[in-house]
Amino acid sequence: MPFTHDAIIIGHGLAGAVLCETLASRGLRVMVFDAALEGRASWVAAGVVNPIVLRRTVPSWRASELLAIAGAFYREMELDYETELWKSLPLAEIFPTAQEAAIWQLRMREPEMSRMIGTGPLHDDGLEKLPQPYGHGVVLRSGWLNIRAMLDAQRARLSADGSFAQQRVSEEDMRRSPDGIAIHDCSAPLLIHCAGPFKQVPGVVPVRGEGITVRMRGLGLNCLLHRGAFVVPRGDDVYRIGSTFAWDDVWSGPTEEGRRLMMDRVQRLWNGEMELLDHWAGVRPGSKDRRPILGRIGAHEAVLTGLGSRGALLAPWCAEHLTKHLLDGEPLDPEVDQARFT
Ligand SMILES: Cc1cc2nc3c(=O)[nH]c(=O)nc-3n(C[C@H](O)[C@H](O)[C@H](O)COP(=O)(O)OP(=O)(O)OC[C@H]3O[C@@H](n4cnc5c(N)ncnc54)[C@H](O)[C@@H]3O)c2cc1C
């Protein structure tokens, strides 16, 4: 029997969507299954693209390379889907102490960091209204990805082509043969699991994250902001604030503790009028060594997961790297190879 598709993907979060786009750009016929499960990460992600580990004021893993690939990828998608998805937005880091401000100054002298951070000051109406006794630094190469818009746009196109099924795939649904794999009436020589925290893959560590959406009337902030949590402006003085990190009870959904923690972060920042609009939670597919997890896990199966808290930055590089491995036989970087956990 000929295959109906060249590849099947399980999961339509950031990993599945970006991989689908990457494989389709190579001319592959791709079928996507997704079940919209409670706790999926991409639907609650704030969409911040930040190449700096703010806690330590160092570049995140392969920041420069990943940023270049991600920026080009999302801009290309914007053009293709005629939908605004990607926005370059500076990120202001309000220093909690004088020491943090001094460390920022020192780091700015390092060659890679000097291209990514500065001292501004950033002229933003909202930022100027916030207390900042030690000032702020600016991440220059940050941005915001409208993840939901991206997923919606791609799902609409895939659905119109009959290449998307809203369906949970269980182990019993997968029929493996020596040549490939079949799920219901779809078959392909390759199945890629992009099921995020829902697929138990060695090395994956699920991490719950919670955040809130608030209205801070009169703030007028336009840039991204970090001060204990990220503040992402969504227009009309509505802001998404997030997020927490919890390794226990990851599937519990939003908790009172998480809500209180996020409210506290906002109240320390802004003592004007504030209205709580929403409280949300999701589960990140983290990994034991904070690196993505890619590679073959069977004769006709592969995995792309472990995107952790930087999915938007990592996904395009991961999808390209995995595609070159699967289609062109290029070796996987041992740092991301799933084999390191098996
Ligand atoms: C609160 C929070 C805030 C975050 N903020 C940011 C941020 O600002 N910037 C950033 O870059 N990253 C952020 N992240 C991280 C980011 O969300 C993740 O790295 C990324 O979304 C992971 O994508 P994924 O596709 O691997 O997993 P998911 O988004 O969880 O997608 C997996 C998909 O697979 C589906 N699925 C699973 N099993 C099956 C099955 N058997 N059959 C069919 N479908 C299935 C699920 O329903 C889901 O749609 C945040 C995460 C959280 C939780």
pLDDT tens for residues 103-157? 999 999 999 999 999 998 899 999 999 999 999 999 999 999 999 999 999 999 9
Is ligand 1 within 6 A of the CB of residue 29?
Answer: no
Mode of pairing for the β-strands spanning 7-10 and 238-242:
unpaired
What is the pLDDT at residue 295?
Answer: 98
For residue 147, how far is its CA from the centre of ligand 1 (angstroms)?
10
With bands split at pLDDT 50, 70 and 90, how would you rate the model's confidence at 1? low
Can you give the chain as a three-state secondary structure string?
CCCCCCEEEECCCHHHHHHHHHHHHCCCCEEEEECCCCCCCCCCCCCEECCEECCCCEECCCHHHHHHHHHHHHHHHHHHHCCCCEEECCEEEECCCHHHHHHHHHHCCCHHHHCCEECCCCCCHHHHCCCCCCCEEEECCCEEECHHHHHHHHHHHHHHCCCEEECCCCHHHEEECCCCEEECCEEECCEEECCHHHCCCCCEEEEEEEEEEEECCCCCCCCEEECCCEEEECCCCEEEEECCCECCCCCCCCCHHHHHHHHHHHHHHCCCCCEEEEEEEEEEEEECCCCCEEEEEECCEEEEECCCCCHHHHHHHHHHHHHHHHHHCCCCCCCCEHHHHC
For residue 39, how far is its CA from the centre of ligand 1 (angstroms)?
8
pLDDT tens for residues 43-100? 999 999 999 999 999 999 999 999 999 999 999 999 999 999 999 999 999 999 999 9
Across 3-19, average pLDDT? 98
Among all chains, which residue has been given the structure tokens 């992402």? Answer: 232
Comparing CA positions, the residue from 259, 293, 250 lying closest to residue 277 is 259
What is the pLDDT at residue 224?
Answer: 98
Is ligand 1 within 6 A of the CB of residue 165?
Answer: no
Is ligand 1 within 6 A of the CB of residue 14?
Answer: yes
Is ligand 1 within 6 A of the CB of residue 194?
Answer: yes
Mutate to test the pocket of ligand 1, among 10, 12, 14, 60 (most ligand atoms within 8 A of CB): 14
- Domain extents in the chain: 7-46+147-203+289-341
At residue 204, what is the residue type?
V
pLDDT tens for residues 247-280? 999 999 999 999 999 999 999 999 999 999 999 9
- Ligand 1 nearest atom to the CA of residue 283, by list position: 53
With bands split at pLDDT 50, 70 and 90, how would you rate the model's confidence at 297? very high
Please say whether the dihedral angle defined by the alpha carbons of residues 152, 154, 159 and 160, taken in this order, is positive or negative: positive
Mean pLDDT estimate for the chain: 97
pTM assigned to the model: 0.97
A 10 A CB-CB count for 329 gives: 7
Is ligand 1 within 6 A of the CB of residue 180?
Answer: no
CATH architecture of 7-46+147-203+289-341: 3-Layer(bba) Sandwich (3.50)
- Ligand 1 nearest atom to the CA of residue 281, by list position: 1
Mutate to test the pocket of ligand 1, among 89, 284, 293, 301 (most ligand atoms within 8 A of CB): 284
pLDDT tens for residues 207-230? 999 999 999 999 999 999 999 999
Distance from C-alpha of 314 to C-alpha of 253, rounded to nearest angstrom: 25
The answer to whether residue 23 scores a pLDDT higher than 80 is: yes
Comparing CA positions, the residue from 119, 139, 141, 140 lying closest to residue 54 is 139
Is ligand 1 within 6 A of the CB of residue 313?
Answer: yes
Ligand 1, atom 23: closest residue by C-alpha: 14
pLDDT tens for residues 157-176? 999 999 999 999 999 999 99
List all residues 6 or more positions away from 309 whose beta carbon is below 8 Å from its beta carbon: 207, 209, 245, 284, 286
List all residues 6 or more positions away from 280 whose beta carbon is below 8 Å from its beta carbon: 44, 210, 211, 212, 213, 254
Across 196-200, average pLDDT? 96
